[in-house]
A and B are shown apart, each in its own frame.
Chain A
C-alpha cells in the first residue's frame, strides 16, 4: 500500500502524495456537477480524486476497475441496486474501504441499517459541504490508521512465523532415540525457552562401537542463532566421522565456523567420544559448562577443563583434550547453562552446588530419571520466574564395563 503522512495529506499540508480516491454514488445527475464544483480546490491541489457512479451496480464496476479507492460516499435510494445492498457487497471487493451513506434527514431506519452493514458514518441531504469535508477527512484518517494497524499485525505474524521456523529447525535436529545396551544407557532432552534459543545435543555411533556425545549452546537467540546452530551441528557431525581425537574435531569445526562469522556468533561445545565397552570418555571442552560425573553414592565430580575456547571466536586455536573412566554405576551428566543459570524470583542462580545436590541424597537409577530430577529441581527453584534459556541435559549411565 502507499504509505503517507495522513495528517499533512488530509489536513492540508504540502501535497506530494497521490490523491485519495473517493467514489461518489448517486442517481441524481446534478450531484456530480455540484461535487466537482464544490470540491474543485481539493481536487486541483491533488488532495482527492473523485469518481462517480449512478447506482450500486455501476459502483461495483467502478470499484473493480479503479484500484485503491479509499472511500465510498453513497446515496441510499437508487435504481438497479440501492445503497444498502451496495454496502453489503463492498467488503467482498475491498474490505478496508470506508463507506459513508447519504440519507434523507431523519431517515433513522435506513441510517441504522447502513451502520449495521458496516457504514463508517452518514451525512444528510441536502449536503452541507463543510460537514462533508470534515466527514471525508475523518473517514480517510480512520482508513489510514486501520491500514497501518493491519500492516503492523502482518509484520508481527511474519515474525512469529519466522520464530516458529527457527524453533522447528532446532527440534528437528535433536535425536530422539538413544543407545541402550548391557554396557550403557543414554538419554537426552531439551526444554526450549519461549523465545527460540540455541541449545542442541547430538548422540551418534562411531566406528568400533564408540559413541559420539555432543552438547552445545549457541550465543544469542532467534533465527540467526538457529541457522548457526544448524551449521555447527552439521560441521560437528562431519568432522566427528572423519577425525578420531575430540580435540582435532573441535579444532576443525572452529576453523570452519570462524571463516565467515561477521556476526560474531559462537557456540560453546562439549564433545566426547565414549567407549561403552571400557567406560572411557575422551573429551574436549570448547568453552562449555564442565560436565559432571555422578557416582553411585551420590557424590559428584566436575570434569577438568581442556584449555578450550567457545567455537567461532578465534581461528587457528588448538583444543586440548582429556579422558575420564566411568565405573559401573557412574553417570555422566552434560548440561547447558540453562540449568545452572536458571533464576528464581530473588535473582539467584541455580548454580553448580544445587545441581550437585540433586543427586547427593538420591543417586539416579536411570538416565531418564536423572534428567527428570534435574528439570524438576530447576523448575522448583525458579518458581514463577519465566524460563529465559533452553534447558538441556545429556546423560550417560555406565552399566558395566
Chain B
C-alpha cells in the first residue's frame, strides 16, 4: 500500500495504491492521518490504483470521515474500480460518503 499526496483547488488528494486489508489497515490509518493537515478542509481519496479493500480498510475510511465531519471538512472518494465500488455499495457506505467517477469531477464538486 502506497499513498501519494497532491493538492488541487485547495483539495488534498491522496492517491492510494495497492491493497488495504487487516494486515495494513493500521498503517493506512496512520498514513492518512499524517497526510491530512490540520488546515485541510477538503479531502479526496483517489482509489484509481487501489486493488482491494477489506472491512478493516472500510473502518479506517469511516474513522477519517467522522474526523473530517467533526471539523466540517469535505470528504469524498473517486475513481473506484467496479469491485471496490461494489464493496462500498454492499456495505451501504456509498450512502454516507460521496463517491465520484473521476478526480476532475470530484475536485470540481468539492473544490473552491
Docked-complex contact A221 and B22, CB < 8 angstroms:
yes
Report the Cα distance A308→B54, complex, angstroms: 18
Q: Could you say which residues of chain A place their CB within 8 Å of the CB of B7?
A: none
**Does A309 contact B91, Cβ atoms closer than 8 Å?**
yes
CB–CB A264/B66 < 8 A = yes
Query: Which partner residue on chain A sits nearest B26 by CB separation?
Result: A220
A240 vs B56: C-alpha distance when bound (angstroms): 27
A388 within 8 A of B: yes
CB neighbours of A305 from chain B (8 A)? 90
* Complex contacts, B96 vs chain A, CB 8 Å: 309, 313-314
Where chain B touches its partner, the secondary structure class is helix
A95 interface residue (CB < 8 Å to B):
no
- Contact partner of B59 among A195, A265, A314, A389, CB < 8 A? A265
With known contacts A220-B56, A221-B56, A287–B63 Cβ distance under 8 A: no
- The complex places the Cα of A195 from the Cα of B23 at a distance, in Å, of 10
- CA distance in complex: A219, B63 (Å): 12
Residues from chain B with a CB closer than 8 A to the CB of A195 are 22
Classify the interface of chain A: helix, strand, loop or mixed.
Answer: loop
Q: Would you call B59 and A289 a contact (CB within 8 A)?
A: no
Structural contact, A220 and B22, CB atoms closer than 8 A: yes
The contact of A220 among B51, B55, B90, B92, by CB within 8 Å, is B55
A168 to B66, CA, bound (A): 32
Number of B residues with CB within 8 Å of any CB on chain A: 21
Q: How far is the CA of A349 from the CA of B52 in the complex (A)?
A: 10
In the complex the two chains form, is B91's CB within 8 Å of A287's CB? yes
- Is B58 close to A, CB under 8 A? yes
Number of residues of chain A lying within 8 A (CB) of chain B: 29
How far is the CB of B63 from the nearest CB of chain A, in Å? 4
> By the criterion CB–CB under 8 Å, are B90 and A347 in contact?
no
Chain A residue contacts of B54, Cβ below 8 A: 337, 341, 388-389
User: In the assembled complex, which residues on chain B have CB atoms less than 8 Å from the CB atom of A265?
Assistant: 59
Residues 55-85 of chain B: 1 if any A CB is under 8 Å from the residue's CB, otherwise 0?
A: 1101100110010000000000000000100
Q: When chains A and B are docked, how far (Å) is the Cα of A313 from the Cα of B66?
A: 10
Determine how close the nearest CB of chain B comes to the CB of A288; give it in whole angstroms.
7
Tell me whether B90 and A287 are in contact (CB under 8 A).
yes
| B21, CB-defined interface residue at 8 Å | yes
Q: Which residue of B lies closest to A309 (CB)?
A: B92
* A219 B55 Cβ-Cβ under 8 A: yes
The answer to whether the Cβ of A282 comes within 8 Å of any Cβ in the partner chain is: no
Q: Which of A307, A310, A337 has the most CB of B within 10 A?
A: A310
Q: Which residue on A lies nearest to B23, using beta carbons? A: A388
Task: Please provide the chain A residues from 169 to 224 with a CB less than 8 Å away from any CB of chain B in the complex.
Answer: 195, 198, 217-221
Q: Tell me if A287 and B22 are in contact (CB < 8 A).
A: no
CB within 8 Å for A313 and B62 given contacts A268-B91, A288-B90, A389-B54: yes
In the assembled complex, B109 has its CB within 8 A of some CB on chain A: no
The answer to whether B90 and A217 touch across the interface, beta carbons within 8 angstroms, is no
Q: Which of A340-356 contact B (CB under 8 A)?
A: 341, 347, 349
B83 in complex: contacting residue of A288, A289, A308, A349, CB < 8 Å? A349
Q: Give Cα distance in the complex from A288 to B51, angstroms.
A: 20
Partner of A219, one of B56, B90, B92: B56
Enumerate chain B residues within 8 angstroms of A337, measured Cβ to Cβ. 54-55
Q: Once the chains are docked, how many angstroms separate the CA of A341 from the CA of B21? A: 11
Chain B residues with CB under 8 A of A221? 22, 56
Known: A195-B22, A349-B83. A217 touches B92 (CB 8 A): no
Contact of A388 among B21, B51, B59, B91 (CB under 8 A): B21
- Judge if B12 is at the interface, Cβ distance under 8 Å: no
Most B CB within 10 A of own CB, among A218, A265, A268, A313: A313
- Report yes or no: B51 in contact with A347, Cβ–Cβ below 8 A: yes
Q: Which residues of B contact A388 (CB under 8 A)?
A: 21-23, 54
Q: Using CB atoms and an 8 Å cutoff, list the residues of chain A in contact with chain B.
A: 195, 198, 217-221, 264-266, 268, 286-290, 305, 307-310, 313-314, 337, 341, 347, 349, 388-389
Which residues does B use to contact A, with CB under 8 Å?
A: 21-23, 25, 51-52, 54-56, 58-59, 62-63, 66, 83, 90-93, 95-96
Question: Lowest 10 CB-CB distances: which A-B pairs, in order?
Answer: A309-B92, A219-B55, A287-B91, A219-B59, A287-B92, A264-B63, A264-B62, A220-B56, A310-B91, A221-B22
Known: A268-B90, A309-B96; 19 extra A-B contacts, CB below 8 A, are A195-B22, A217-B55, A219-B56, A219-B59, A220-B25, A221-B22, A264-B66, A287-B91, A288-B90, A305-B90, A308-B92, A309-B91, A310-B91, A313-B62, A313-B93, A314-B96, A337-B54, A349-B83, A388-B54
